[in-house]
Structure 1
Amino acid sequence: MRFTKISLSNRFPLILLLLILNLSLGCGKVVKGPEPTIPEANAGEDQTVFVDYQCQLDGSLSTGNLAVYLWRIKTLPSGAPSPTITSSDAPKAYFTPTKLGTYEFELELSNVLGISTDEVKITIVPFYAPSIEAGSCGICSHLQSHDGETDEDLDRNAQMISEIGAEFVRFDFDWKDIEPEDDKFSYAKYENIIAKLDQINLKVLGILDYGNTWSDPTTGDIKEINRFADYALNTVKHFKSDVKFWQIWNEPNNETFWANPSAENYTKLLKAAYAAIKQADPDAVAILGGLVGNGRDEVYLYGRLFAKANFLPDIYTKGGKDYFDVASIHPYNFATDINSTASIEAAINDAQTIMSNNGDGGKELWITELGPLYFPQEPNFLTTEVYTETEVADWLNLIYTDLRAKCSKLFWYEFRDYPGEFSVFNLEPNWEGLVKSDYTTKEAYAVYKNMLK
């Protein structure tokens, strides 16, 4: 990259105007505001990205108070049309390359003290699909929250998950934890988790999810979606050497996790987040947010919209086909017969049919959550029907035996029982784990362990 500073002489009229304004307004009480500082533009590192996917230009390392940002195109690949630069007056801007070759951009930073410019080169290459590791068995665990509340809890969960032979562990990389303020990232908690999982060779499926106190990307507003994509880009880049599997949101067709579920708004987020993941790590595998049910049928549970109708077909209609490497469902509402997997297999077939009808038959389909939601071992305020540990353990063995050939990976939900009371005020089931909240193992724990020997 090249860095230049330009003299102040061509900014003299601007300086004079500001001095006049300052004198004319100076008759009242003087309130001292921020002082300008000399601008220094930093257009970021040169990058290589895929053609036809949005690319972020990042000038956030620039310095200079009260400075104006301006991104502009300097050179294009031969024959390339000039792309539109979105947010060209902000530290982070976006464009979508449509031609192979090298694009060069200039960032200008200016204020009353001067002008600074810097250039960045973006090399555009053909898209390639990532390789997907073998292995079919995963576990969901809330290592970022109650399963990792203390170092002792984290160590115990990680070690016990490793002992049963699970190949993957799935958990949230919660946006509000990682970026509590705009452009202020904190990874210490997740670095600690990853370090412990690396020691026992557990692969991670990280979920990039949920809104923030200062941003809601579910509304479809492109500015907020790009903020989410920025979090995704920085997070994937930060953990590039350790995490290769990323899921874009959790259950976006479920109103518990996405207010007023909208396939159109989710597809907008999917496109931006997928491009961000690939910009950060071209070899990363991006997984569709696990859709409750089969991706097509409407489902209500406990009086809430558990799955909006036609969500997966609508993702394709809105152009989402090329923005996930793996599809994913959570067919809970089809897992109601403890003696059969026929309904679950039908849900898998339904989702795969939708994929095939949209030219996506070659993609893998994963079940990233499935557990005994409908098989409580104790009565609760909703039902008096209960199931024994043996019945649940036998069902676990049944689903892994029957479904292994139907879907590429299956993640059991969850490893440890939720350590809270299930009630009308807290609809978080507390019976789905392989172990109880006090880490006492259930029969299903031994079955899972023996199944993977």
Structure 2
Amino acid sequence: MSTFLHRTVVVLVVAVLGVWLLGSRVPSLVDASPGGGTADPQAPAQEPGHHRKHAPSGPEGVADDQLGVQLSAHHSDRPGPALAVLDRLARAGATWVRIDVGWRTLQPEGRGPFELWYVDLLDAVLEGAKQDGLKVILNLWLTPEWASDSGSPYAPPRDDDDYADAIRRAAERWGDDVDAWEIWNEPNFDSFFAGADPATYTRLLCTAYPVVKQYDDDPVLFGGLMYNDDAWLRQAYEAGAKDCFDALATHPYVGPSDAAPDTPAVGAVWRLTHTPAMREVMADFGDRGKRIWVTELGWSSGPDSAGNPWDRAVSPQRQARFLREAVELIRNRYPYVGPIIWYRDVDGPTDDYQDGFGLLHPDLSPKPAMCAFEREVRGR
């Protein structure tokens, strides 16, 4: 590829993906408090309503305990929608669920006790996940206005200790309910972590890591990188990240967005098949023993966005096929990768491309991708 064409593609990727990612993959900040108040992290969790626990099932083959789903149904001021979705995911055989939590919503006014209404919501959702036998990855991100110079939720905190205080309180309260802690979301993407600076992120990661470990020995994840960005990862290692995480999270979305999972990498970071490059960086720094977790991966079955190559939808049937092919590719080629988290649980409320990543329709009826997910879980 010529230098000019390469630069053109990179500019297109950054510009278009900024719209795509901000439109479809940023969780609601849940700013409207239905009552306000703060919560002591040591207070007992509120008891949610009765929630049925499902025994794992695997009528054929060997059940895959590495598959999970990103939860979006908790972007609400009440737990009911999330509990219904968790129940459905458990019946499908999911083992993991990734739950994003807004630091901005936990501590909107400053350091100190968490917002009571949000704690009540998270208590109920985490208890629901536990009752359904689902392991939880908790991703803490989105900076409160008071904690950054710009006031943007995507700005790095002015003081890393402020973030450490929040995740300390979270680990103290929810350590028994969380199975992995993910530090931020896509810090290599400027629109999600202003500046996208590896050294800045490494300082945040290394401040948070020992604080979590004081309360919970479960894995701390290097926050999911957008794509298999091996160059950015190398810079983070050079800044001292090696001893500050237990596993590396990536979001290896494939571009163009209707391309198949096995599309050759040819040096492009926006390919699932570029995964070995991440492994090579880890090996260079003596981290071959750490696993790579895919904490987001998916294809949208929503309509195209004006034919843009980064917003090209696939049919519901192809979405299902790509899910199966991606899982089987990872199983067969990359034994050091897993868990694998599909983005996401439920389609959004519109027919937009951005709202088409779900396994379920908004009424929780299954899309073909859900049927494919169930088959992969059960090894059929």
TM-score range, shorter chain: 0.7 to 0.9
TM-aligned CA deviation for residue 381 of structure 1: 3.1
Q: State how far apart, in whole Å, the 1-side matches of 2:245 and 2:261 are.
A: 34
Mark the CA change 1:259 to 1:434 in structure 2 (over 3 Å): closer, same or farther.
Answer: same
Secondary structure of 1:280's aligned partner: coil
Mark the CA change 1:228 to 1:156 in structure 2 (over 3 Å): closer, same or farther.
Answer: same
Mark the CA change 1:341 to 1:379 in structure 2 (over 3 Å): closer, same or farther.
Answer: closer
1:340 is the counterpart of 2:293: no
**1:316 maps to which of 219, 227, 237:** 237
What are the residue-to-residue correspondences of 1:329-408 with 2, within 5 Å?
A: 329-334=250-255, 336-338=258-260, 340=262, 342-343=264-265, 344-373=271-300, 376-383=301-308, 386-405=313-332, 406=334, 407-408=337-338
TM-aligned CA deviation for residue 277 of structure 1: 0.7
TM-aligned CA deviation for residue 177 of structure 1: 1.9
TM-aligned CA deviation for residue 151 of structure 1: 3.7
1:443 is the counterpart of 2:378: no
What's 1:295 paired with? 229
What are the residue-to-residue correspondences of 1:22-421 with 2, within 5 Å?
A: 135-145=65-75, 148-182=76-110, 183-186=112-115, 187-216=119-148, 224-281=159-216, 283-296=217-230, 310-334=231-255, 336-338=258-260, 340=262, 342-343=264-265, 344-373=271-300, 376-383=301-308, 386-405=313-332, 406=334, 407-420=337-350
Q: Higher relative CO (CA 8 A, sep ≥ 6), structure 1 or 2? A: 2
Q: State how far apart, in whole Å, the 2-side matches of 1:156 and 1:149 are.
A: 15
Name the aligned partner's letter for residue 293 of structure 1.
Y
Mark the CA change 1:152 to 1:144 in structure 2 (over 3 Å): closer, same or farther.
Answer: closer
Mark the CA change 1:355 to 1:150 in structure 2 (over 3 Å): closer, same or farther.
Answer: same
More strand by share: 1
Q: State how far apart, in whole Å, the 2-side matches of 1:451 and 1:377 are.
A: 23
Name the aligned partner's letter for residue 182 of structure 2.
Q
More helix by share: 2
1:383-439 deviation per Cα after TM superposition (whole angstroms, max 9, x unaligned)? 4965321111111111111112411211100111122464xxxxx811111112332
TM-aligned CA deviation for residue 188 of structure 1: 1.6
Q: State how far apart, in whole Å, the 2-side matches of 1:252 and 1:289 are.
A: 7
What's 1:434 paired with? 359
Secondary structure of 2:88's aligned partner: helix
Q: State how far apart, in whole Å, the 2-side matches of 1:431 and 1:156 are.
A: 19
Mark the CA change 1:416 to 1:219 in structure 2 (over 3 Å): closer, same or farther.
Answer: closer
1:142-179 deviation per Cα after TM superposition (whole angstroms, max 9, x unaligned)? 2431xx55443122211111111110100112112222
1:323-346 deviation per Cα after TM superposition (whole angstroms, max 9, x unaligned)? 000011111145652263544453
Find the structure with the greater CA-based Rg. Answer: 1
Mark the CA change 1:444 to 1:158 in structure 2 (over 3 Å): closer, same or farther.
Answer: same
Q: State how far apart, in whole Å, the 1-side matches of 2:84 and 2:167 are.
A: 29
Given that 2:299 and 2:319 are in contact with CA atoms closer than 8 Å, whether structure 1 keeps it comes out as yes
Question: Tell me, which stretches of 5 or more residues in structure 1 are unaligned?
Answer: 1-59, 61-133, 297-309, 423-427
1:37-81 deviation per Cα after TM superposition (whole angstroms, max 9, x unaligned)? xxxxxxxxxxxxxxxxxxxxxxx9xxxxxxxxxxxxxxxxxxxxx
Given that 1:143 and 1:193 are in contact with CA atoms closer than 8 Å, whether structure 2 keeps it comes out as no
Q: State how far apart, in whole Å, the 2-side matches of 1:273 and 1:294 are.
A: 23
Q: State how far apart, in whole Å, the 2-side matches of 1:209 and 1:287 are.
A: 13
Given that 1:289 and 1:328 are in contact with CA atoms closer than 8 Å, whether structure 2 keeps it comes out as yes
Provide the alpha-carbon RMSD of the alignment.
2.4
Q: State how far apart, in whole Å, the 1-side matches of 2:261 and 2:317 are.
A: 12
Mark the CA change 1:144 to 1:155 in structure 2 (over 3 Å): closer, same or farther.
Answer: closer
Q: State how far apart, in whole Å, the 1-side matches of 2:155 and 2:259 are.
A: 37
Given that 2:298 and 2:344 are in contact with CA atoms closer than 8 Å, whether structure 1 keeps it comes out as yes
Q: State how far apart, in whole Å, the 2-side matches of 1:367 and 1:386 are.
A: 21
Name the aligned partner's letter for residue 204 of structure 1.
V
TM-aligned CA deviation for residue 261 of structure 1: 0.9
Mark the CA change 1:339 to 1:259 in structure 2 (over 3 Å): closer, same or farther.
Answer: closer
Name the aligned partner's letter for residue 340 of structure 1.
D
- Percent sequence identity over aligned pairs: 26
Given that 1:220 and 1:268 are in contact with CA atoms closer than 8 Å, whether structure 2 keeps it comes out as no
Q: State how far apart, in whole Å, the 2-side matches of 1:144 and 1:210 are.
A: 16
Q: State how far apart, in whole Å, the 2-side matches of 1:196 and 1:449 are.
A: 20
Q: State how far apart, in whole Å, the 2-side matches of 1:386 and 1:177 are.
A: 32
TM-aligned CA deviation for residue 220 of structure 1: 6.3
